[in-house]
Amino acid sequence: MGTKKILKIAGLNIGIALFNIILFSPGLVGIELNSSEPFRVAIGGAAIFLSLSLFLYGNYTLITQKAPSVNKVSDIKNLKDCTVALNQAYGKKTFDNDITTMKEQIELFSKKKDKIFSMLGEKFNVIDKVYEKFNTIIFDVEYVLLSNIKGILNKISVFDEEDYERIRCDIAQKKFSDEVIASKMNIYNEYITFVKNAIEDNEEIILKLDALLLELSKFNTLGTGEIDNLKEIKEMDELIKKSKYYI
């Protein structure tokens, strides 16, 4: 059971308990079930029934609630799907820190993209060619980020961590020849290098968004020709064209 689910269950039950404490405490509302007033008894009974119903239904719903899942990398359509798939990919300690980094990168990218569009909305009309040009570029850059992460997830899914750890132990124990061990380690190191390089590319994308935000803040007006000449736009176009990780 995940931490978030545990916190939700705890919050629900604490809330129910506090509700009953307030309702039945003499110093507060002070409802008495043995009161001589039928109305107060009815309210008390209704409160107990409501609390019991909420306790049973709420806990059952939270406990049986399934987390969203992505069955295959090919099912990933957007960055939200990426986050779900990354959460499911935890478990191979070789990449667990990398997965956390990628989740942080997705969050950063989304925040910066929102800031860019917020700034564009203040400076340009959504039907302007300028706005549309930026919209297209940001969409394409997001696709590069999405493709990078999908490529990483593919690599992580087929990475055999048990064999990798076994080979690392074999290096110390000299079970196999140096040539065999070196060949196997080279293969696994290719997986690890691929993941590290793709994460570096993701960070470069975020850096370019930062640079674009800074540049946008300098202008009140821009023509489509001026956009094409912006250094940050040229770099993003180049990044999109040379991306190695499209799927």
Does residue 223 have a pLDDT over 60?
A: no
Q: pLDDT, tens digit, for every residue of 177-190?
A: 778 888 888 999 99
Looking at the structure, tell me whether residues 217 and 141 fall in a common domain. Answer: yes
CA angle 110, 115, 121 (to 5 degrees): 125
Looking at the structure, tell me whether residues 193 and 101 fall in a common domain. Answer: yes
Looking at the structure, tell me whether residues 53 and 145 fall in a common domain. Answer: no
Is there a domain that residue 85 lies in?
Answer: yes
Q: pLDDT, tens digit, for every residue of 13-61?
A: 788 777 767 666 665 556 655 555 665 666 666 767 777 787 777 777 7
Total structural domains within the chain: 2
Last residue of one domain, picked from the residues 42, 64, 86? 64
Looking at the structure, tell me whether residues 46 and 89 fall in a common domain. Answer: no
**Cα dihedral 99→104→110→115 (10° resolution):** -160
Q: Which of 142, 148, 138 is nearest to 197 (CA)?
A: 148
DSSP state of 177: -
Last residue of one domain, picked from the residues 43, 64, 85? 64
Tokens of 59: 């806990």
Is there a domain that residue 90 lies in?
Answer: yes
Looking at the structure, tell me whether residues 9 and 124 fall in a common domain. Answer: no
Looking at the structure, tell me whether residues 20 and 128 fall in a common domain. Answer: no
Looking at the structure, tell me whether residues 37 and 101 fall in a common domain. Answer: no
Is there a domain that residue 236 lies in?
Answer: yes
Is there a domain that residue 247 lies in?
Answer: no
Question: What's the pLDDT at 202?
Answer: 92
Looking at the structure, tell me whether residues 54 and 94 fall in a common domain. Answer: no
The helix-helix angle for 3-24 and 38-64 (nearest 10°) equals 180
Q: What's the rounded Cα separation, in Å, for the pair 239 and 233?
A: 10
Looking at the structure, tell me whether residues 17 and 80 fall in a common domain. Answer: no
Q: What is the mean pLDDT of residues 1-13?
A: 70
Q: pLDDT, tens digit, for every residue of 83-105?
A: 999 999 999 999 999 999 999 99
Q: pLDDT, tens digit, for every residue of 132-154?
A: 878 888 888 999 999 999 999 99
Last residue of one domain, picked from the residues 64, 81, 101? 64
Question: What's the pLDDT at 224?
Answer: 55
Looking at the structure, tell me whether residues 118 and 35 fall in a common domain. Answer: no
Looking at the structure, tell me whether residues 93 and 211 fall in a common domain. Answer: yes
Q: pLDDT, tens digit, for every residue of 154-177?
A: 999 999 998 888 887 766 567 777
Task: State which residues form the domain around 172.
Answer: 73-242
CA distances for 102 relative to 47, 48, 120, angstroms: 47, 47, 27
- pTM, rounded to two decimals: 0.67
Looking at the structure, tell me whether residues 10 and 87 fall in a common domain. Answer: no
* N-terminal to C-terminal alpha carbon distance within the chain: 33
